[in-house]
Amino acid sequence: MRRYVASVLCAVMMVGTAAATAGCTAHASFNAGGEAAKAPPPPPPAPEPAPEPKEEKPRRRFKLTFKLKGNQVELPGPVVFETASDKLAPESDEVLGIVDDFLNQRKDVSLLRIEGHTDSDGEDALNQTLSEKRAMSVARWLVAKGHDCKRFIAVGFGESKPVADNNTPEGKAQNRRTGFFIAAINGKAVDGAPVDAGGKVAGDPCK
């Protein structure tokens, strides 16, 4: 009888031990399963691509076109030089670009007269020289653009041909000018007039 009771107790203890062991195992498996079920954090959103920079096109102040008034090429603005100098200012490029366009389209113009004029400030002789040098600077600018140097005659008039009152700043600004005139077409002088129009020839643009 004592052996039977001992056997029963032993069996009960073994079952309890197995149950405890199984419980621990199940608890551990549950915790392990819980950890495995956690989803990884979502990746950070991709940065939006930077907008492409807009290409800014250079804007011209004047349309690339020319008009004729008789034999004169009319321009929408003046040819500008540095003060008391024959050096062209950068803003002159736009206006001279129109003369360049004119020469490209009018191949029949075999000689273009470039006239330099000044206001009355300063000595007459110095103004005359300055007007010649400015006309020559313009001729050489056009030659640098690829035009035949023989197509140009540069002349200076100094202050001898004002178109406005030299007693006002506005009038002086108008008198400081550069003119462009068709002097010859297909090798023949226009209307048989002198190609220099009475101005003093500044020199040879080809030199």
pLDDT digit string, tens, across residues 160-206: 999 999 999 999 999 999 999 999 999 999 999 999 999 999 999 99
What is the pLDDT, as a whole number, of residue 66?
82
Name, in order, each residue with C-beta under 8 angstroms of 154's C-beta and a sequence gap of 6 or more.
114, 116, 132, 135, 136, 138, 139, 201, 202, 203, 205
Measuring CA to CA, which residue among 193, 76, 183, 185 is closest to residue 139? 183
d(CA 126, CA 73): 27
What are the phi and psi torsion angles at 97 (to 5°)?
-60, -30
Measuring CA to CA, which residue among 127, 150, 102 is closest to residue 200? 127
What is the pLDDT, as a whole number, of residue 190?
97
Better-predicted residue by pLDDT, 83 or 38: 83
pLDDT tens readout for residues 75-110? 999 999 999 999 999 999 999 999 999 999 999 999
Stated length of the chain: 207
User: CB burial class (10 A; 0-12, 13-18, 19+) of residue 182?
Assistant: buried
Q: Please answer whether residues 74 and 59 qualify as being in contact, where contact means their C-beta atoms are separated by less than 8 angstroms.
A: no
pLDDT tens readout for residues 154-164? 999 999 999 99
What is the pLDDT, as a whole number, of residue 53?
57
Q: Please answer whether residues 145 and 151 qualify as being in contact, where contact means their C-beta atoms are separated by less than 8 angstroms.
A: no
Per-residue pLDDT, averaged over 131-153, amounts to 98
pLDDT tens readout for residues 57-75? 454 455 557 899 999 999 9
What is the pLDDT, as a whole number, of residue 33?
43
Give counts: helices (H), strands (E), the chain. 4, 7
* Structure tokens belonging to residue 33: 């399963």
pTM of the model: 0.70
d(CA 59, CA 62): 9
